[in-house]
Structure 1
Amino acid sequence: MIAAVSVAMVLTPTMASATHPEVSLAGSNFEIDTDANIKVDDPAPSIDWASVNETRKEDTASGQSDESFGQGSKEDTAVPSVVDGGIPPNKSDLKWFGVYQEGNTSTGFLNLFWSRVQDPSGTTNMDFEFNQSSTLSTNGITPVRTAGDLLIIYDLSQGGTKPQLSIRTWTGSAWGTPTNLTSSNLATGSINTLSIPAGEADGLGAHSARTFGEAQVKLSALFPNPNVCAGFGAAYLKSRSSDSFTAALKDFVPPVAVNISNCGGVKIIKKDDTGAALAGAEFTLYKDNAPVGGSRGAEDTITTQKCTTAANGECTIGNVLAGEYWVVETVTPPNHDTAADQHATVTADATVTLTFIDPRQRGAILVTKVRKHAAAGPGDHPHAGVDFTVNGVTKTTGANGKACFDNLAMGSYTVHEVTPANYVGEADKNVTVDNKANCTDNPYAGETVTFTNTPLSKITVTFESQVPGGTAATIACTGLTATPPDGTPSDFDDTSETFQDLVPGTYTCTVVVDP
């Protein structure tokens, strides 16, 4: 079995110039050959099955394991019975089917092919069923039918070579009235009247005459309402025993996943300025009305389509009608700047991927340093020349006693003071930065912290005998320890004692003179 992913292609304005007979619909570059084949016969931009990556499914080989529909199964049977080994070759034993979407729904086409083991006698009928749901029914093989599913019917009456194509829609309980696509020029098709050698079959194997057929249907026939999203996630091919729609179903090629839609999607990847995934960002689509492009304006209208990024920083807005849109970040994760709008051109059966970067917001800490200074008057006064360190960066207070640190990511920081000599400083302070700010803001909107320095004093008490050697003294200040210049402890025959590093306060000193 060979399976490939379907690819949506944008059509060129002109159709390929055919050098051999084709029945392709106007506007298509896909070769629906008068004598159906698989290879590309014309120059670019012509394409054929051998040059595209269609979704392709092979049937189980003929024999006891080949699936077929059980007795009594008809097209209107919502859940047909499935049996093995019930299809003899003369009953249109199927081999392959393929699906390829070309372009979008306004100008595009759905191309199909089928192949079978041999040309049966009599009427040949192939039906391509397209299901919106890929959930399996109770038979475990065919998908659950949903109202709006489609059946494209490929009829070759009485051994004919020119197929007639029609389409029916599932009503919820039966297939509705058929619409003839061939007569309305919405579809075309052909079969091979000559054999196809294996070397020209793109892996499908050699085909004898009348065992390969192809068809082309305008996507607008599948999606008649351009304002309603619709899509099909599974498809399969089956055969009927006669041209009567109520005839028994015979062989089928099991369903394969497809992605055929008149809508697209927008995938959003959200990161911060470090490249880390960012969750919790909501994005909303705005319809970009004329004039298209430029920047989002008052004429552009909001839609109800939105998504919110998950832990991996991604989300997808699905079922977006083809058209021009603005993708707008409408909820921004805390402590991040909102990303600019981005324009998206959405096409059918395709997903646009956009990456948005939300820079982390930055804050600032303004440090104010004050001191007591009697000569300058009462109260606190700016203290210049004091060093502070935040996040490994050191700054010095200016004449106004201030030092400012910015470009700080949101979070908690420790502010450390290098206490100047002869002052009592303060311990480190923790500051939480949670406001977007810059040191140059006016007015300043960031975090603030104040450190107060207390100047230190020293007391020197001096004793001197007026008669040399006549008296001795001891000097003591309550609660203080003297620090003599030589660094030795004070004794009981002091002539001078110094007590230093004193904060403002009241001190009591006693001098005892011994005559």
Structure 2
Amino acid sequence: MLRTEAAQNCPTPPTRRRRRRSPIIAAAAAGALIFTGLAVAPAQAAHPEVSLPGSDFEIDTDANLKVDDPAPSIDWANVIENRQADLATGSGDDSFGQGAKEDTAVPTVVDGSIPPNKSDLLNFGTYLEESAAGDFLHMFWHRVQEPNGTTNMDFEFNQSETLSGNNVTPLRTEGDILIQYDLSQGGTNPQLFVAYWLTDGTFNPPNPDQTVTTANCVSSNAFPCWGLRANLTSSGDATGSINTTAIPAAESDGLSSTNPVSARTFGEATVDFSAIVGDDECVSFGSAYLKSRSSDSFTAALKDFIRPADVDLTNCAKVIIHKETDPDGDTTSFDYTTQLVTQDDGTSPGFSLTDGGTQEYDNVFFGTDLTVTESAPPAGWSLIDIDCSASVGVTVGPADISLATGTVTFDLDDADDVLECTYTNQAKGTVIVEKVTNDGFGPFDFTSGTLPDAAFTLTTTAAGSAGKDSNTYANLTPGTYDVSETVPANWNLVSETCDDASDPQSISLSAGETVTCTFVNEREKGSIKIVKTRKHAASGPGDHPHANVTFTVTGGNLSQGIVVQTNASGIACVPNLVVSALVGNYTVTETVPTGYVALSTNPQTAAVSESAADCSNTPAGATKTFENMPLTNLTVSVDSQIDGGTASTIDCDAEADPPFEATTNANGDGSLTKSNLQPGTYTCVIVIDP
């Protein structure tokens, strides 16, 4: 554990989880490092170092900026650090004034020269090394010349980037860190300490020895304040050095262009980052700045400072989940569960997203086999893609993504890790098959090679939409579908259309689309053709068309008879009759005109089959011919010129039954009339008897 500078008789908070521990550094000698309870050789033994074990960064016994050992060793010269330069030395330089101290939340900034022997600052830099052994925070300071007396360099790391009232330094937030780099007078072995900014009694530092009461304030008994500092050097969580010899300008990594960097004007340090921020709370620092004190008293007035530089220091990684839907713009909500822990509440968070939405967690603790899972999609949706290619520092291969469960499995072990995945869901579609009959009703069979039913029957109950039948196929994956009707005998398929203009045999179903395909049938129709002829002497021998003769058609599906008359050509056409195969035969009855006798069978039976409405192709079974014969009235009379002078008998067609005969009355006059005689030869015998 870290050791505080002053012991306090306070209860010890629960021990917090630590990612790793470093051995305690006791002393350093050329070629070897000696640690309390453990002897460990430096990472590279080519020259003396006091680097922390696990770190590849060279903290040289005689501090410098160049890389002295082979890879994987690193030093300031081959990393890209956050570096900030001070304002030019002289009257244009700024400093803290009016007695500003470390506990001054908003120190006063003034202009004016800082005497070189009061640690006039030139540059500072920070760099976060991320390795399998842990994260290490490296710092350097650079001042004008070696000062006289005690020197203190304080690195302040702030979580907020919002400027305070002086418009220069950031607002302090509880948990901000102050790393103090102390060199006693004439000393070359720095001691590093850490303190935390306290605003009330709720903050729990990662150092178990640091309880939070006003008694923990370093220089006052009231919040806000810097808490009691912990010795990072003694606990083995930090190391540092200064340059005891001059650094050539060519090896200064740009700190000096011509002159060497004088001895004791450059110092560097490494701090185990997890040791100062802990492993069970996410901490992010957005800015850092350097300040100096010329006294080892914490309450001494601050001197020079270098304005804050932006940094990005964190002990947590980031998870970003995006949601896309097909079709775009859908408002359906999709639920997610996770197996990861964030700083927000210490539990695995869940969330919901709609199309175009993003859930971002920038405070996810490191871990292995972490998961994000989309719950079973709502009805009518399917998960079609999980794309994690935008992730940074996180390897997500095909084996780590399961579309079946909606789960991504991943590891986070670096502050720069970003898991960024896009979940794409596709709305399923619906195909509705409708059956409508324009007339009649009945069952109709359908087949499909792609719908869930390979064969099905739809049965209409009446003509028109009121009697329609339909099947609905929902939750279909977008694609191409087909449906066909097996048209029954004696029915016609008059139309098959889909409301999206698709062909029913190739229905293009998009995500979220409902396509209705309607099949319209009607019964086959035919006509009865009536041919009417007559004998007519004046028109010549043979049969002649007979106009204006009335016929009545009954039977079939007719609720009442259809009455028609023949035209000038002796033709009457009765169209749009349902075929007899469906409704039975029809009866054609002639109303025989007065003065005629029917020579043909009357009525006649017609079997209607499909034919044209104009009777142009009416088959024989529905073509009916009626022939009539005109009738004649025959009258034979005798008139006795002498009243009663003669008596006569008339006998025509004596073979007829009854006999066709007559006798004159007493005056000798008489006649015989025979009506409705068909054409023929008639013989009459008249006997006049005087």
Give the TM-score category using the shorter length. 0.7 to 0.9
Question: Structure 1 residues 453, 202: CA separation in 2 closer, same or farther (over 3 Å shift)?
Answer: same
State the match for 1:352 in structure 2.
Answer: 418
Give per-residue Cα distances to partners, 1:193-236, cap 9 Å, x unaligned: 22223322223325222211100111232124x22222322211
Structure-2 separation of matches of 1:142 and 1:477: 110
Output the CA distance in 2 between the equivalents of 1:492 and 1:285. 88
In structure 2, C-alpha distance between the alignment counterparts of 1:403 and 1:333, rounded to whole Å: 23
Cα deviation, 1:253-310, whole Å, max 9, x if unaligned, reads 111222222221212244457999999544432159xxxxxxxxxxxxx934245557
Tell me, in whole angstroms, the C-alpha distance in 1 between the residues paired with 2:280 and 2:55.
Answer: 23
Alignment correspondent of 2:522: 454
Alignment deviations for residues 6-61 of structure 1 (CA, whole Å, 9 cap, x no partner)? xxxxxxxx973231110111221110011111111101111111222222222222
**1:149-207 residue CA offsets vs partner (Å, 9 max, x unmatched):** 11110111113221111111112211111211112222110111222233222233252
Letter of the 1:472 counterpart: A
**What TM-score results when the alignment is normalised by the length of structure 1?**
0.74
Answering whether residue 375 of structure 2 is matched by residue 337 of structure 1, we say no
Higher deviation after alignment, 419-428 or 66-75 = 419-428
Q: Does 1:221 align with 2:275?
A: yes
User: For the residues of structure 1 that align with 2:531 and 2:239, how far apart are their CA atoms?
Assistant: 125
Task: State the partner residue of 1:157.
Answer: 184
Check conservation: 1:371, 1:454, Cα contact below 8 A. yes
State whether residues 417 and 427 of structure 1, in contact with CA within 8 Å, keep that contact through their aligned partners in structure 2: no
1:193 is aligned to: 244
Per-residue deviation, 1:364: 4.4
Question: In angstroms, what is the RMSD of aligned CA positions?
Answer: 4.5
Amino acid at match of 2:48: P
Alignment identity in percent?
Answer: 45
The answer as to whether partners of 1:16 and 1:45 remain within 8 angstroms in 2 is: no
Query: Taking CA–CA contacts closer than 8 Å with sequence separation of 6 or more, which of the two structures ends up with the larger relative contact order?
Result: 1
What is the TM-score with the length of structure 2 in the denominator?
0.56
Aligned to 2:390: none
Is 1:317 the counterpart of 2:385? The answer is no
What's 1:141 paired with?
Answer: 168
Distance 1:371 1:416 in 2: 16
Q: Distance in 2 between matches of 1:477 and 1:156?
A: 128
Aligned to 1:466: 534
**Kindly tell me: are residues 512 and 277 of structure 1, through their superposed partners in 2, closer, same or farther at Cα, counting changes over 3 Å?**
closer
The residue aligned with 2:443 is: 381
Matches within 5 A, 1:66-215: 66-103=93-130, 107-172=134-199, 173-206=224-257, 207-215=261-269
Match of 2:571 among 479, 483, 496: 496
Contact 2:287 2:308 in 1 (8 A): yes
Q: Mean alpha-carbon deviation: is it higher for 65-74 or for 450-459?
A: 450-459
Distance change (3 Å), C-alpha of 1:399 and 1:163: closer
1:408-434 deviations in Å (ceiling 9; x for gaps): 6679x9999999997374685659xxx
**257, 279, 293: which one pairs with 1:240?**
293
Greater shift, 80-89 or 494-503, is seen at 494-503
CA distance in 2, matches of 1:355, 1:170: 37
Aligned mate of 1:303, from 347, 357, 370: 347
Q: Which runs of 5+ in 1 are unaligned?
A: 1-13, 289-301, 432-437, 439-445, 479-489
Task: Say whether 1:19 aligns with 2:46.
Answer: yes
State whether structure 2 residue 429 is matched by structure 1 residue 363.
Answer: yes
Question: Is contact 2:431–2:473 with CA below 8 Å preserved after alignment?
Answer: yes
Note the C-alpha offset of 1:82.
1.1
SS at match of 1:168: strand
| Residues 462-471 or 132-141, more deviating | 462-471
Deviates more, 1:272-281 or 1:105-114: 272-281
Cα drift, residue 321 of structure 1: 1.3
Rounded to whole Å, the distance in 2 between the matches of 1:343 and 1:15 is 37
Q: Distance in 2 between matches of 1:50 and 1:34?
A: 17
**Greater Cα offset, 415-424 or 248-257:** 415-424
Q: Report SS of the residue matched to 2:185.
A: helix
Provide the C-alpha distance between the structure 1 equivalents of 2:295 and 2:132, rounded to a whole number of angstroms. Answer: 32
Q: Quick one: distance in 2 between partners of 1:167 and 1:465?
A: 126
Partner of 1:328: 373
2:81, 2:126 within 8 Å by CA — same for their partners in 1?
Answer: yes
Q: How much has 1:68 moved relative to structure 2?
A: 1.4
Q: Which amino acid aligns with 1:192?
A: N
Moved more, 85-94 or 148-157: 85-94
Q: 1:423 aligns with which of 482, 492, 498?
A: 492
Deviation sequence 1:314-367 (CA, Å, 0-9, x none) = 432221111121111248577532442111211242232242443414334253
- Letter of the aligned partner of 1:316 in structure 2? E
For the pair 1:40 / 2:106, whether they are aligned, the reply is no
- Structure 1 residue 70, shift from structure 2 partner: 1.7
Question: Which structure has the bigger radius of gyration?
Answer: 2
Q: Unmatched 5+ residue regions in structure 2?
A: 1-40, 200-223, 384-402, 459-469, 501-506, 508-513, 536-542, 554-564, 596-690
1:346–1:281 Cα change, 3 Å? farther
